[in-house]
Structure 1
């Protein structure tokens, strides 16, 4: 009858370990691998206990590397290095399974020492050890050492994991062109290789390259999975490529890929950020279960589309389902209230979520409360939030208050906050423009000139407005006042006719923020060539009757373009969805979903 080991109680002191060890010795189980590893795991964490570990190892009847190898992956780097040094002192040479466990968490100096030991023990051509060393160098941002090791290794030592390790590591370091060179030279690729390269493009904002590579993967008949589908959907989201996003979604459904929480969130997020919140809701509502990130994504989607009631109703449904909100949920709920001007609801939900769910508000939450009060004209309440914040207000918080001062014409508070924001963020053109517009609205043209002079002195240029519109899977970009397009003459002519027709219906150009030294007629002309107007004109030329126009702008939509687009939607019988820097605007029948509150 075999002896029974004592129950594995937690070992917290060396005294407890000695007692446990003595019990194992009496039962004849001290040399059993599982029990021995438990003793070594405790001893290796403290250098003072290494002599004990050395004696334990020296008296072990079968001291093989396999006894200690599993520990290296669980110990902190310093303890793992100490245990390795103990092995070498006995001497007990590591084997080729030791290094793959040691290297992943090894800091650069230790990785270099292990590299030398690999060479000394002639394990440098062992594929798993080589792969672990490549990963360690790349994790330490030494892509030069990783590349040298990769290039000088024999072909027989490199496998698909080696090549993929280089691709993913270089992508993580932002070296996507180097990664693509390695990727193109791969003798064979697996799905991880494809996804690593596609993800690398996505994380560096090269969405078109990501989608082109995704198309190439599919054309070669490579069977995808949820990871690569998620990467492709994120690329569609970043590029505002709704048609491509729908195509990827169909591919997911036809391929039978499991819709896990991450993939479901990517689909919902794509539809929300491409202006199709109703499609996002249909996908969300059809899911069998929802994870927290999916709830957050849908609530946030409703929020940025100005559908406060839907966002709050979904949040209440989430609470009823027993899903605890997090700080992202709180931010989304506050954003929904801020975009709709629901001040009392925003205050109530802030208190409720913080108190009921124990969430500690962060700077962005206070910034959202400042935005909530500020948009509604309650500037004293907004300033009170800033004064009572437990941390220093950042640029987001102060910028929200400055924006509110501009909206409501509070020149005194706005001037003080504006110069403070510029001092904190001297190279951001938007800060100067907002302050200059505040002065312009008050007729303080000398101060407007001072702001512009300061921009010139600091070589800060105003960010040009850019608008994207997608047709047949192709995105066309238009810049304010500049048009390089094969249909430029037709687009300009349509823009002129478009404005002529809406003027006949009552549209009057808003020139309040135009340069003060221009005639009224000259002030109107630049407004005609704002990027979203050019994009809309192009859309009217190309789109089928009653087809929705979807436009993405890099800046906040101006008052004049907002008013003009309302008229265009009615006169031309078009629904127009504009995504600006802050939110979505759905224009239809002469109305906007924001109800002119943005």
Structure 2
């Protein structure tokens, strides 16, 4: 519970105070560290679990591989994948392979990820193609992204997220005709893109925001604060990443679109309504935007708050100009 609420340190305090632990306790603690990008602590728990006499099973290794993937610990993750099969006789499932593909793809080793997919003893699952497609977005590999999407379509496993990823890849490459083609395909298939939405807890309760949202009573103050914050961080070196404003418009308009993303609006509301020094906790239903990630990193240098963002896959802790993800997200 504490881990999923963004407070993994309290989760560890509860774990340390337990008079007796079982496999679920150890695995839950590893999982908590994994979703917060604290891979070294997850590996430490794994070692202590074995010293306590517990033999890791397939779930333990799955959680461990996940932690390595979200912490950029590529060599360690590949080593544990080999140890799992060689020393513990744990048969790798499609889920284990998905973690390895994700591990390799996140760090840009797409050739190795592709080779691993080809060598799998089972048919690649939809999760694996989604992991590859997501990595292609980060590393701008259009050809491989198209192949992954075709696989998902053939499996009838495509969804709004898959189409959005390929659309984003085309937009980043300024292939606007392909962007329009994907949008038309989604419309024809009856697939609607989920709008990005962010929630934040403040003194006056929980508030939710969509992109460009101006329905909140504090909207004038929210947009005014955002304008001042973005002005300050631009002086510090922040440059809006206009490739995340995925529209065929000029750069000035893209900057305006970026400033209206739901997580930025949620952050401004949190800053307006949260006591100094208290963490600001934001939840987003989709993956956090790359430009918002950059902006939050800068903003964390100038505000007296830790900014905790939970997106669709993990937690990001912004504090003193850095993020806990270390760039692996």
Deviations 1:529-569 (A, max 9, x none): 11110110001101111211111111111110000001111
Unaligned runs of 5+ in 2: none
Q: Are 1:305 and 2:75 matched, yes or no?
A: no
| Corresponding residue for residue 511 of structure 1 | 242
**Partner secondary structure for residue 368 of structure 1:** helix
Shift of 1:464: 0.8
Answer yes or no: is the 8 Å Cα contact 1:441–1:512 preserved in 2: yes
Query: In the alignment, which of 427, 442, 449 is matched to residue 180 of structure 2?
Result: 449
Alignment of 1:538 with 2:269, yes or no, is: yes
Partner residue in 2 for 1:438: 169
> In the alignment, does 2:311 pair up with 1:580?
yes
Alignment partner, residue 334 of structure 1: 65
Judge conservation of contact 2:107–2:328 (CA < 8 Å) in 1: no
1:521-532 alignment, distance < 5 Å: 521-532=252-263
SS at match of 2:301: helix
Shift of the alpha carbon at 1:326?
2.2
Contact 1:422–1:431 at 8 Å: present in 2 too?
Answer: no
The answer to which of 302-311 and 324-333 deviates more is 324-333
Contact 2:202 2:269 (C-alpha < 8 Å) held by counterparts? no
Measured after TM superposition, the shift of residue 426 of structure 1 is 6.2
User: In the alignment, which residue of structure 1 is the partner of 2:139?
Assistant: 408
> Which residue does the alignment assign to 1:481?
212
Q: Which residue of 1 aligns with 2:196?
A: 465
Partners of 2:108 and 2:163 lie apart in 1 by 22
**Aligned equivalents of 2:196, 2:252: Cα separation in 1:** 22
1:551 matched to 2:288? The reply is no
Aligned residue number for residue 233 of structure 1: none
Q: Are the aligned partners of 2:167 and 2:182 in contact in 1 as well (CA < 8 Å)?
A: yes
Residue-by-residue CA offset, 1:256-290 (whole Å, 9 max, x unaligned): xxxxxxxxxxxxxx110111111111110111111
**Contact 1:502–1:564 (CA<8 Å) still a contact in 2?**
yes
Instruction: Give me the TM-score of the superposition, normalised by structure 1.
Output: 0.53
- Supply the distance in 2 between the matched residues of 1:574 and 1:436 (Cα, whole angstroms): 35
Q: Structure 1: which 5+ residue stretches go unaligned?
A: 1-269
Question: Which of residues 219, 223, 248 is equivalent to 1:492?
Answer: 223
1:377 to partner: Cα distance: 1.3
Question: Where does residue 323 of structure 1 map in the other structure?
Answer: 54
The corresponding residue for 1:378 is 109
Paired residue secondary structure (1:546): coil
Q: Bigger shift: 370-379 or 385-394?
A: 385-394
The Cα shift of 1:473 comes to 9.0
Task: Note closer, same or farther for the CA distance 1:473–1:351 as it changes in structure 2 (3 Å cut).
Answer: farther
Answer yes or no: is the 8 Å Cα contact 1:326–1:359 preserved in 2.
yes
C-alpha contact (below 8 Å) 2:74/2:103 kept by paired residues = yes
Distance in 1 between residues matched to 2:205 and 2:88, nearest whole Å: 45
| 8 Å CA contact 1:573, 1:589 repeated in 2 | no
Q: Post-superposition shift, 1:517?
A: 2.4
Of residues 294, 301, 311, the one that matches 1:563 is: 294
Question: What secondary structure does 1:570 align onto?
Answer: coil
Alpha-carbon offset, residue 400 of structure 1: 0.6
The aligned counterpart of 2:92 is: 361
**How far, CA to CA, are the matches of 1:419 and 1:489 in structure 2?**
45
Q: TM-score scaled to structure 2, two decimals? A: 0.95
Q: Secondary structure at the match of 1:482?
A: coil
Matched, 1:594 2:320: no
Q: State yes or no: 1:424 paired with 2:149.
A: no
Q: Secondary structure at the match of 1:462?
A: coil
Structure showing greater Rg: 1
- Say whether residues 1:277 and 2:277 are aligned partners: no
**What SS does the aligned partner of 1:470 have?**
strand
Alignment of 1:244-255 (within 5 A): none
**Is this contact kept in 1: 2:244–2:258, CA < 8 A?**
no
1:148-198 CA-partner distances (Å, limit 9, x unpaired): xxxxxxxxxxxxxxxxxxxxxxxxxxxxxxxxxxxxxxxxxxxxxxxxxxx
Instruction: Compare the two structures and name the one with the higher helix fraction.
Output: 1
Across the aligned residues of Structure 1 and Structure 2, the Cα RMSD in angstroms comes to 1.7
TM-aligned CA deviation for residue 423 of structure 1: 4.1
**CA offsets, 1:85-127, max 9 Å, x none?**
xxxxxxxxxxxxxxxxxxxxxxxxxxxxxxxxxxxxxxxxxxx
